[in-house]
Structure 1
């Protein structure tokens, strides 16, 4: 009996030993990278694998930053470093793949970005005390040109540049302040291609004058003393005029003038006022932000014509093809009760003289003012104005 038990134990031990050896022999030795790809945004690029080398060149526009690696290895094998931790490739990489049985294999990754050929000036801005002026760039001719207000010193300018990524520039724009003469810059691409730009900044010193004087209509302007007008109390309302101004070239305005067809009178008895008056001008940009406010004195002998507002002290800068709203009204028009007529044209047309007109009306009884944007509305007429300045 004892002999049978001992024999059974020996057979059982041998069986366990054979099972253990079989398990060791079945451990996988697979330690290869089966596929390798890089994803950036919505673009994925696959790379070939030759023995233990993964290499390739991507386009210069395919940045090897902020990327995701997609790497396939055999089941249960491991890879180091973890591809999920690699977000930038800026040189050779080594990955180690370890099979289940512990065998390791190194893979050398050498993926590069093609050198960029871009050698452009992308953006130039001149920073002044109150303006940021964008500069025109002709990449084909290599010309950068800008005319800026005369108040700025060309020998001490703050000019900011943006260049093609990876490009280098000589001289260093940060060291250049004097643009009283044209300045040449050489932009060199990452691939070595060079392009020369000439930067030419000049003063806006060409005097220009525009005038809109054709009139076939006249709108009430100023106060109202009438006692018999429907729905209007005497000495209650004040009527102002406005006009959108759009210039075709950048302009520093010096004078803005409005036109009234007559002197100021009391409408009810047609008595002439014959005393000095004050008109106020408000200038706003397209967002209705106030750019300037000023007044001008109208002499008592005024009997019609253009009335100028001096804008020189404001150093305004009107950008080409942008809308600016000019509003003007009689100061204390409600209390004074005198009026004149804003000259206008009802004809259709295009250009400087045919932009949108405005009219505004405030009332003491409503406790509002022509300083309030809500008192103004668009008007179909084009009011007579004149504009002088330098471009």
Structure 2
């Protein structure tokens, strides 16, 4: 009996010693060893205090869409899981639990520095068909733009974009009347204010550009010849074009093209002496059609400038952008009559010396001068006139 009691006592003592030894081997480490925030490719590391982590990031470092990385001792656990936190908008609390169950709490308080930006970045005037971006002088705060007269300065839709985190007064959405200068105050997140003054005016300065120097004349219109090589009678129609580049924003009112003489049949040298219709197509640099119109030419026309009225087209030409003006005789193939487009072969610079164009359509090829693919660059500069308001 004594032997059994002794064996039981020895077994109990051994289990007790093993349990105590196991508890003593569990780590009590429950500290945060490192703390960092990464946004895109930028990583910020922070100093760890006794029970808190505090710090600031630059105003441009937004605390959204971020990744938080925390290292803790081996075997410890942290709650909540840092990988689930994608933004910081206030203090955070973390609890680190050691292997032996001891818990240490941390408060994380990281903020973004207030932004000092107080800029108006864009001011756009929205109309039914167009949007006009104003010019902003960052030093003086003056914002200016001239817009077409068709728009009422007392009833404008203006969109203002300003610095992130800043505020603006008055609210641009409440302002419609820009017939007089309007002041806006932009206040940065840090409290610094800047005043901007907006001056919108009508484009009311009349201008006229004329290119009339001619030393060459190109076929324009249809063709009735039966004896021309590689050309069928009443098959083709030849048009003329010119690149237009203005140095200031322009609302064009009239565009004129020049023909050296009236229309006639080439084969019998007989004048047509009847009214004809010419068509004008205006395209942008990507050859998208911006507008088109027609004009009637009387049967008594015997040469000179022919006007196209552009006023109802609400056409707007931006400074230093490329526009292509193409014109041709409507039903030129069927009519078989032609005239001559006046051009200048001399080299030069400025409005009158931009790229010329020529286009040719054929009934036999089922092509039309409405298609930009039948137009090609021509080495001459064709005579044109342009009027409008800046």
User: TM-score range with shorter-chain normalisation?
Assistant: over 0.9
Inter-partner Cα distance in structure 1 for 2:34 and 2:64: 20
User: Deviations along 1:238-294, whole A, 9 cap, x unmatched?
Assistant: 100111111111111100100111121221222222221111111112222212111
Unpaired stretches in structure 1, ≥5 consecutive residues: none
The Cα of 1:12 is off from its aligned counterpart by: 2.2
Structure 2 partner of 1:244? 243
Comparing 112-121 with 264-273, which one deviates more in the overlay? 264-273
Equivalent runs, 1:1-391 vs 2, <5 Å: 2-391=1-390
| DSSP 3-state at the match of 2:118 | coil
Comparing 285-294 with 334-343, which one deviates more in the overlay? 285-294
Following TM superposition, the consecutive aligned residue runs of length 4 or more in structure 1 with deviations greater than 2 angstroms are 2-10
Inter-partner Cα distance in structure 1 for 2:336 and 2:108: 87
The Cα of 1:6 is off from its aligned counterpart by: 3.8
| DSSP 3-state at the match of 2:364 | helix
User: Deviations along 1:78-114, whole A, 9 cap, x unmatched?
Assistant: 1112111111111111211111111111111111111
User: Deviations along 1:15-52, whole A, 9 cap, x unmatched?
Assistant: 11101111012111111000111100100011001211
The Cα of 1:348 is off from its aligned counterpart by: 2.0
| DSSP 3-state at the match of 1:174 | helix
Inter-partner Cα distance in structure 2 for 1:321 and 1:118: 32
Inter-partner Cα distance in structure 2 for 1:223 and 1:284: 23
| DSSP 3-state at the match of 1:328 | strand
| DSSP 3-state at the match of 1:240 | strand
Inter-partner Cα distance in structure 1 for 2:242 and 2:311: 20
| DSSP 3-state at the match of 1:49 | coil
Normalised by the size of structure 1, how large is the TM-score?
0.97
Comparing 184-193 with 343-352, which one deviates more in the overlay? 343-352
| DSSP 3-state at the match of 2:70 | strand
Count of aligned positions: 390
| DSSP 3-state at the match of 2:10 | helix
| DSSP 3-state at the match of 1:13 | helix
| DSSP 3-state at the match of 1:123 | strand
| DSSP 3-state at the match of 1:129 | coil
Inter-partner Cα distance in structure 2 for 1:388 and 1:130: 21
Inter-partner Cα distance in structure 1 for 2:93 and 2:15: 41
Unpaired stretches in structure 2, ≥5 consecutive residues: none
Normalised by the size of structure 2, how large is the TM-score?
0.97
The Cα of 1:5 is off from its aligned counterpart by: 4.2
| DSSP 3-state at the match of 1:55 | strand
The Cα of 1:204 is off from its aligned counterpart by: 0.6
Inter-partner Cα distance in structure 1 for 2:145 and 2:69: 49
The Cα of 1:370 is off from its aligned counterpart by: 1.1
User: Deviations along 1:333-384, whole A, 9 cap, x unmatched?
Assistant: 1121111111111222222112221111111222222112222111121111
